[in-house]
Amino acid sequence: MATAKNPKSKKQLIDDDQLIGLYMNAVLEKNEAPKNVYLFCKEHAIEEADFYSFFNSLDAVKEAIWVKFFDNVVGMLQKDSNYSSYENRNKLLSLYFTLFEILTLNRSYIFYALKDNKEGLRNLKQLASLRNHFKDYIVDILKSGETEKDSKVKKITRPVFSEGAWLQFLFILKFWLEDTSKGFEKTDIMIEKAVKATFDILDTTPLESLFDLGKFIWKERA
């Protein structure tokens, strides 16, 4: 039975990063997710009130993990003094390559988190917050490369492109999960071809790149 905290007791210092780390470790060590907040907090000697000051549920922790991955990527890119001067194509490439480097470092957790999904990656609730952050970042990339002349047209196409980029990311994520090549080198090839095809579509010269992408996918799935 939970009781009010003793105001004289020593307060345990905890933050969202620590909670996320504890949750991921618990999943990997036991090969199953904690059953509920009470058991999770009891096992790690955490006050439930401290947990709820950061997250309202374990599902919220699962969503936050993906956002932390993405925020780490954005932080790394922004530290690169040359990144802001990249063309949009290279910004998207850098985003994907850096993101999948981070995901690879956490592949065991990600594989567990996604392996039992029966509805497809697009419908995973735990990716909902990541989707919003991802799409907002894609819109920022597009805005950075716009001129005043084409801003009105781009304002209409930005949502379409950002949603398309999100679906592209999910496709690459699924490919990466199934990639058995050394160093996931085939995922690197997939990223390069997918991004090239995307920007060639925007440049209205898509056929050659789409054919090249389709040929690669067919070869890998045949």
Please report, for the chain, the start and end positions of each structural domain, with discontinuous segments joined by +. Answer: 16-56, 61-221
Q: For residues 190 and 196, give the distance between their C-alpha atoms in angstroms, rounded to a whole number.
A: 10
Other Cβ atoms closer than 10 A to 148 = 6
Q: Which of 118, 116, 213, 111 is nearest to 168 (CA)?
A: 213
Q: What is the pTM of this model?
A: 0.81
Judged against a pLDDT cut of 80, whether residue 19 lies above it is answered with: yes
Q: Determine the straight-line distance between the first and last CA of the chain, rounded to whole angstroms.
A: 58
Higher pLDDT, 167 or 221: 167
* Band of residue 198 on the pLDDT scale cut at 50, 70, 90: confident
Helix, strand, coil percentages in the chain from 3-state DSSP, rounded to 5: 75, 0, 25
Judged against a pLDDT cut of 90, whether residue 217 lies above it is answered with: no
Mean pLDDT of the region 170-175: 94
106 Cβ partners below 8 Å, 6+ apart?
24, 69
Kindly report, residue by residue over 67-94, the tens digit of the pLDDT: 999 999 999 999 999 998 999 889 999 9
Q: Are 212 and 110 in contact (CB under 8 A)?
A: no
Mean pLDDT of the region 195-221: 67
Q: For residues 172 and 220, give the distance between their C-alpha atoms in angstroms, rounded to a whole number.
A: 13
Other Cβ atoms closer than 10 A to 181 = 11
Q: For residues 158 and 181, give the distance between their C-alpha atoms in angstroms, rounded to a whole number.
A: 34
Q: Which of 136, 131, 139 is nearest to 157 (CA)?
A: 139
148 Cβ partners below 8 Å, 6+ apart?
none
| Segment among 9-18, 29-38, 61-70 with least mean pLDDT | 9-18
φ, ψ at 19 (rounded to 5°): -65, -40
Q: For residues 109 and 128, give the distance between their C-alpha atoms in angstroms, rounded to a whole number.
A: 18
